[in-house]
Amino acid sequence: MTQQTEVQQTVPKLKDHNIWQGGHETNPCAIVLFGATGDLAQRKILPTLAHLIHDHPQPETICIVAFARRPLGDEGWRAMVLESLDKYMAADDKLDDKGKQAFAQRLFYCQSNFDEDAGYQRLGQLLDTLDKEQHTGGNRLFYLATPPDTDAEIIEHLGKAGLAQPPKQNGNGKKSWVRIITEKPFGHDLASARSLNAQIGKVFHEDQIFRIDHYMGKETVQNIVAFRFANSIMEPLWNQKYIDHIQITVAESLGIENRAEYYETSGAIKDIVQNHVMQILSLIAMEAPADFSANDIRDEKVKVLRAICALTPEQVQERTVRGQYVAGEQDGKHVVGYKEEKGVSPQSTTETYVALKLFIENWRWADVPVYIRTGKHLPKRSTEVMVQFKRVPHQLYKPEQMKDLQPNRLILRIQPDEGIDLKIGAKVPGAANDLATIDLNASYKTVFGIELPEAYERLIADCIVGDSTLFIRRDEIEESWRIIDSITDTWKKMDPNTVYPYAAGTWGPEEADKLIQRDGRDWVNP
């Protein structure tokens, strides 16, 4: 009998990552937050900025200006932000009093409605004052963390107030810059995205515009590029000759979390597929870029999207499945159905789950199906890309020897437990010549021992240094809406009963299983 000794594994503390890119000049700047008192800013953007400034200090000054309606003033705004930092910064990341006070001193408030000309004049004056007194160097980053229907108005006013261009006097004689970050959703269909692009384009040049998709800020999403183009072993196999199919799963265990108003207009396809999934897919499928410049990479990504044809109504019926969660149980707790959520219409046909099959119609990917699924209230939170390879061309083993053998699969674990997993066949020890599947598994945190940067932190730091590689270009947004519109246009005409119910805490409706099983395949659950 083998004696087992239990070894207590202590997890070593992870090392800090670096966030400022070598070779890029860092600059002082004023970040102007629109939607500063809103949920996204308070929960995410401000804690991220506090962490960025505290843990990755720069010699340069960063000031944060709120442009908002409430009569708060600098002091009221500072108190509000400090409260949010206490609430939302991770327990192991909290700032001490000195850190909080130092951050608070960088916060300024400009009270205005979004449609008030005089408010933008006041903002301009405040920014000039900050250049003089805080040495922000005339560099301005406008961050629109606002409901999408206000974006066009804000942009127009910024242009009218002359704020889209750097000031003539910046106090330091260097060239200064103005950039704008826009949050998703960027439009709600192709026409609205085009119109928003046109409106921004009238005021800002494309290289000033940073459209955020926070998935691009995730290390594991960026690693798709490194994995593919820094290794020679995958590239010869990375095509329709060797790959059977690809699955992309974005599973969420949470529901809609008080976001009914937004989610009712969005649904799973616009919330996740149009942006996050399309970004992952374009990195998985793109050709090698000429180099790592922002435009070369984005040129290749957009070519993938262009090669995905719009779905015909018949294809939408065959290749897409919508679902909506009904009451169920998750982690031992009762969960209400989507229609019972606060703010959701009891007749709602919004999909909280979608499964679909797409094809990338080019030489590399001809006839390789890409199965995509995403949903709220699935059994666990997990985002993965699974690439399944074809079986060997000639089988030497007998079926009974291969009972436990799965096809070769490469799994890129985007989150959580970030890492890479390769399933390969191996001989089971013994005389029978039986085969089984074993895992070659690498976890990012274990291998590197480095804390992964938060996606927003990476993206804001890149914007400050002017690197737009991880941001979404105008044509990418429009191409991805073109594909999504072809699906939603048909959904609108389909019987609402084709939004199939699934119990919260399960892997989606049966029809989604049938979608893939019709092709003789199965979903591989994370």
In single-letter form, the type of residue at position 454 comes to E
Tell whether 390 is in a known binding site: no
Q: Among residues 100 and 413, whose Cβ is nearest to ligand BG6?
A: 413
Reduced to 3 states (helix: H, G, I; strand: E, B; else coil), residue 4 is coil
Q: Among residues 383 and 506, whose Cβ is nearest to ligand BG6?
A: 383
Q: Among residues 184 and 322, whose Cβ is nearest to ligand BG6?
A: 184
In single-letter form, the type of residue at position 433 comes to N
Tell whether 510 is in a known binding site: no
Q: Is 217 exposed, middle or buried (0-12, 13-18, 19+ CB in 10 A)?
A: buried
Cα–chain center distance at 33: 20
**Interatomic CA distance for residues 85 and 310, integer angstroms:** 44
Hey, how many other C-beta atoms are within 10 angstroms of the C-beta on 241?
A: 11
Hey, how many other C-beta atoms are within 10 angstroms of the C-beta on 306?
A: 16
Min dist CB 226 to ligand BG6, Å, is 20
Min dist CB 271 to ligand BG6, Å, is 5
**359-to-69, 210, 281, 365, 378 alpha-carbon distances in Å:** 47, 29, 11, 8, 25
In single-letter form, the type of residue at position 463 comes to C
Widest CA span in the chain: 85
Closest-CA residue to 465 (of 135, 205, 206, 177): 177
Strand-pair category, 409-415 with 419-427:
antiparallel
Min dist CB 255 to ligand BG6, Å, is 10
Min dist CB 303 to ligand BG6, Å, is 24
Q: Among residues 109 and 456, whose Cβ is nearest to ligand BG6?
A: 456
Cα–chain center distance at 66: 25
Contact 56, 100 (CB under 8 A): no
Direct distance between the N- and C-terminal alpha carbons of the chain, in angstroms, rounded to an integer: 34
Contact 294, 467 (CB under 8 A): yes
Contact 466, 176 (CB under 8 A): no
Asked if 205 is an active-site residue, the reply is no
What phi and psi, each to the nearest 5 degrees, are found at residue 342? -60, 130
Contact 206, 168 (CB under 8 A): no
Which residues pair with residue 181 across a beta bridge? 143, 210
Q: Among residues 252 and 485, whose Cβ is nearest to ligand BG6?
A: 252
Tell whether 69 is in a known binding site: yes
Tell whether 334 is in a known binding site: no
Which one from 157, 245, 276, 377 is the annotated catalytic residue?
276
Min dist CB 376 to ligand BG6, Å, is 7
- Contacts with ligand BG6, residue ranges (CB under 6 A): 184, 252, 271, 383
Min dist CB 155 to ligand BG6, Å, is 22
Min dist CB 178 to ligand BG6, Å, is 26
Which residues pair with residue 67 across a beta bridge? 34, 110
Tell whether 271 is in a known binding site: yes
Min dist CB 350 to ligand BG6, Å, is 12
Q: For CA atoms 202, 469, 356, 483, give the dihedral sign.
A: positive
Tell whether 458 is in a known binding site: no
Q: Is the peptide bond before 453 cis (omega within 30 degrees of 0)?
A: no
Q: Among residues 186 and 371, whose Cβ is nearest to ligand BG6?
A: 186
Run of H or E including 85: helix 73-88
Tell whether 188 is in a known binding site: no
Q: Among residues 271 and 462, whose Cβ is nearest to ligand BG6?
A: 271
Cα–chain center distance at 106: 28
Q: Among residues 137 and 217, whose Cβ is nearest to ligand BG6?
A: 217
Looking at beta carbons, which residue is closest to ligand BG6?
271
Annotated binding site: 69, 184, 214, 218, 252, 271, 376
Residue numbers annotated as active site: 276
Q: Which residues are annotated as a binding site for substrate?
A: 214, 218, 252, 271, 376
Q: Annotated binding site for NADP(+): which residue ranges?
A: 69, 184
